[in-house]
Amino acid sequence: MEEREQEKEKPVWRRYAGLDLGSKQHPSHLAVIEDRNGIYFQVVSKWWDAPCALIEVVEETTCLFQKLKVQRLCWDATRGELQVLKEQGKLPWRWQGVVFTPESKKKMAGRLAVYLEQRRLKLLPDERQTRSLLQVDALLKAEADENTGHGDAFWSLALSLEAAHENPSIANRYLELLNNRVVYFA
């Protein structure tokens, strides 16, 4: 009886995910974060090295999505790799594609910068992820690297925060911050 009461007392944290799909040359990265009263804790940092079959990434991500009871996942839909699967109903309905445009990238990067700077996003100790974050410069460009890709973890984390916000336009308030100064991730 006491165990059931303790289970009821455990808070239920909401989880969100971001998936940056790689290519034949770049890795894919999945970031899952957990919202604990406005502070986000990363609970998954998963890499798939290139070349990796898209179906493998989707199947493993779907398994994790269901196992961890993720509320929403955003993926980079710029190249449209998952569009056919989405249209066929083969992806969970809570997966949302985000097309990367200069404006959307700026909004997501601004939000990520603020959350990291304010320590409202706590990352897992993943050296590869750290290198990937540091690859992205103030112009949101990343030099391609054989081992860390080209900012894949940066974008999966930004997408996970995008998924966490019911109204993705919340990033507008962070644009001014990003425009007025250079942001460094250290």
Alpha carbons 158 and 130: distance in angstroms, whole number: 14
Q: In this prediction, what percent of the chain has a pLDDT beyond 90?
A: 32
Q: ∠ at Cα 26 (25, 32), nearest 5°?
A: 155
- Higher-pLDDT residue of 40, 12: 40
Alpha carbons 119 and 97: distance in angstroms, whole number: 27
Average pLDDT (101-110) is 90
Per-residue pLDDT band at 2 (split at 50, 70, 90): low
The 8-class DSSP code of residue 96 comes to E
Per-residue pLDDT band at 151 (split at 50, 70, 90): confident
Cβ pair 85, 63 in contact under 8 A:
no
Instruction: Please state which of the ranges 21-30, 33-42, 89-98, 103-112 shows the lowest mean pLDDT.
Output: 21-30
Highest mean pLDDT among 6-15, 51-60, 127-136, 154-163: 154-163
- Give the model confidence (pLDDT) of 14-43 as tens digits: 999 999 888 767 788 999 999 999 899 999
What is the model's pLDDT at position 8? 59
Residue type, 165: H
All domains of the chain, ordered by start, with CATH? 2-180 (3.30.420.240)
Evaluated on CA atoms 67, 47, 170, 167, the torsion sign reads negative
